[in-house]
Amino acid sequence: MPGSQQRSRCRIACFVTPHGFGHATRAAAVLTELAGRLPIVVDIYGAVPPRLFAQSLDCPFSCRPLTTDVGFVQHSPVEEDLPATLASLKRLLPFDEALVETLAAELRQRDCRLVLCDIAALGIAVARRAGIPSVLVENFTWDWVYAGYLGQCPGLAPHRQYLHDLYQLADHRVQTEPVCAPRADAHRVGLICRAPRLTREELRRQLAVGQEQSLVLVTMGGIGGGVPHEALRGRPQTIFLLPGGRGAESWQDNLRLLPAEGRWYHPDLATASDLIVGKLGYSTLAEACQAGTPFAVIGRPHFPESAVLAEYAEKRLAVRELAADAFASGRWLDELPGLLRLERGTPVRERGAAEVAELVRGWLDCAGLGAGFGLGGQTT
């Protein structure tokens, strides 16, 4: 896009944690809604695949690879590696002063008007140094999560405190359902989710799902592997969607192996499916709630957010819990007929992203930072 056109847009910086893809898709949902209200150009900082934003954003954006935080180093999608996590935190924290100053100067030079952070505390530090307002969007923060591991790993304590102090510096704090640690000073919004684009029927046709076949989405939050393919092939009346793999897209009998960098849009997959099986994470839960799709969840018993997500899921969906070893071995397939009989809920268009966009536009207007940019149309 020519420079003059970019200068006619309000520049937003977005710092995203690299822990899973759910935070990136949540930020993308908010930015999509904001772009419907204000002409924006977005600079995204984080170690997240650009395709997650390319799938969602119609506005101009750039992606800068950057380690914004650690979250957890993991043995698997459901198992944390505490010693490796602690070692990574020691390397990263406290944030390098030269890095913070360089990024702050970059944001000032580019006339950035606001910094949106999905639990990446580095963005708050950079915004503070640059004199630019910051917005923290969270349903948990790392200081809260690390507090739950201090008994097992006392070395997390100084890092937990450092991040806690940074989070308090955010100019605006938004908490999205389901909230893990409610705060009186935060703005509360609903579940945040990207909107589907295709109807259930359209996507099932594209995936060659027969009239008498069921469609099951098996997802570990964007990470492929760990699924016994031969056991799945033994269920020919069910088409299994397996996103998050490496290499090219491949259709093998009743398996649809979809690469992480592929063309398929995850909210559409959730809408088209008769059942979701996988890790209980924020974005998958949000997509399941929006579509009303039953969810067979693999919990993370040690991760503090899991209990909060599970309680919320029970209120919104037909849910069954699967043991991690039953999933890995394929034993859960013995339960598949009963899982496919779970009642589908009524689809609901989640409004959390629109609520955040309205808040952000209001803060920009109140601070005079949206002046000179024509407002976009309202997104419904």
Does residue 297 fall inside a structural domain? yes
In this predicted structure, what is the pLDDT of residue 77? 79
Provide the number of structural domains found in the chain: 2
In this predicted structure, what is the pLDDT of residue 2? 46
Does residue 221 fall inside a structural domain? yes
In this predicted structure, what is the pLDDT of residue 105? 99
Task: Report pLDDT digits (tens) over 141-196.
Answer: 999 999 999 999 999 999 999 999 999 999 999 999 999 999 999 999 999 999 99
pLDDT of 227 strictly over 90: no
Q: Do 324 and 216 belong together in one domain? A: yes
pTM: 0.93
**Residue 65 CA neighbour count, 13 Å, CB half:** 2
In this predicted structure, what is the pLDDT of residue 300? 82
Q: Which one, of 98, 176, 96, lies nearest residue 136 by Cα? A: 176
Which distant-in-sequence residues (6+ apart) come within 8 Å of 65 by Cβ? Answer: 46, 47
Task: Report pLDDT digits (tens) over 299-329.
Answer: 788 899 999 999 999 999 999 999 988 998 8
Mapped onto helix, strand or coil, the DSSP state of residue 210 is: coil
Q: Do 227 and 166 belong together in one domain? A: no
Helices (H), 11-137: 22-35, 51-54, 82-92, 97-109, 121-130
In this predicted structure, what is the pLDDT of residue 79? 86
Q: Render the burial of 232-252: b for 16+ CB within 10 Å, e for the rest.
A: beebeebbbbbbbbeeeeeee
CATH code of residue 293: 3.40.50.2000
Tell me the pLDDT band of 260, cut-offs 50, 70 and 90.
Answer: confident
Q: Do 207 and 186 belong together in one domain? A: no
- DSSP code string of 89-104: HHHH-SPPHHHHHHHH
Hey, what amino acid is at 347?
Answer: P
Q: Which one, of 304, 301, 341, lies nearest residue 322 by Cα? A: 301
In this predicted structure, what is the pLDDT of residue 376? 45
Q: Do 85 and 230 belong together in one domain? A: no
Q: Do 289 and 360 belong together in one domain? A: no
Does residue 8 fall inside a structural domain? yes
> Whole-angstrom Cα distance, residue 96 to residue 102?
10
Q: How does DSSP classify residue 337?
A: H
Q: Which residues pair with residue 352 across a beta bridge?
A: none
Q: Do 159 and 236 belong together in one domain? A: no
At residue 338, φ and ψ (nearest 5 deg) are -70, -35
Q: Which residue in the block uniquely carries the two structure tokens 């979809």? A: 258
In this predicted structure, what is the pLDDT of residue 188? 98
Task: Report pLDDT digits (tens) over 344-368.
Answer: 999 999 999 999 999 999 999 987 8
Q: Do 98 and 207 belong together in one domain? A: no
Tell me the pLDDT band of 225, cut-offs 50, 70 and 90.
Answer: low
Does residue 373 fall inside a structural domain? no
Residue 267 tokens, joined:
């909210």
Q: Do 69 and 123 belong together in one domain? A: yes
Task: Report pLDDT digits (tens) over 287-296.
Answer: 999 999 999 9
In this predicted structure, what is the pLDDT of residue 373? 65
Q: What percent of the chain has pLDDT over 70?
A: 94
Tell me the pLDDT band of 247, cut-offs 50, 70 and 90.
Answer: confident
Does residue 234 fall inside a structural domain? yes
In this predicted structure, what is the pLDDT of residue 31? 98
Q: Do 127 and 226 belong together in one domain? A: no
Find the mean pLDDT for residues 266-277: 97
User: For the chain, give me the number of helices (H) and strands (E)?
Assistant: 16, 16
Tell me the average pLDDT of the chain.
92
Q: Do 112 and 143 belong together in one domain? A: yes
309-to-137, 140, 201, 233 alpha-carbon distances in Å: 17, 11, 29, 31
Task: Report pLDDT digits (tens) over 77-135.
Answer: 788 999 999 999 999 999 999 999 999 999 999 999 999 999 999 999 999 999 999 99
In this predicted structure, what is the pLDDT of residue 53? 94
At residue 163, φ and ψ (nearest 5 deg) are -70, -40
pLDDT of 332 strictly over 80: yes
Q: Which residues pair with residue 249 across a beta bridge?
A: none
Q: Do 204 and 186 belong together in one domain? A: no
pLDDT of 50 strictly over 70: yes
> Whole-angstrom Cα distance, residue 370 to residue 140?
29
Hey, what amino acid is at 217?
Answer: L
Domain of 304, in residue numbers: 200-339
Residue 359: count of CB within 10 angstroms of its CB = 18
Does residue 346 fall inside a structural domain? no
Q: What is the CA radius of gyration of the chain?
A: 21
Does residue 186 fall inside a structural domain? yes
pLDDT of 221 strictly over 70: no
Out of 5-14, 146-155, 228-237, the most confident range is: 146-155
- DSSP code string of 350-366: --HHHHHHHHHHHHHHH
Q: Do 36 and 66 belong together in one domain? A: yes
Does residue 63 fall inside a structural domain? yes
> Whole-angstrom Cα distance, residue 137 to residue 28?
12
Q: Which one, of 247, 150, 194, lies nearest residue 24 by Cα? A: 194
> Whole-angstrom Cα distance, residue 216 to residue 190?
27
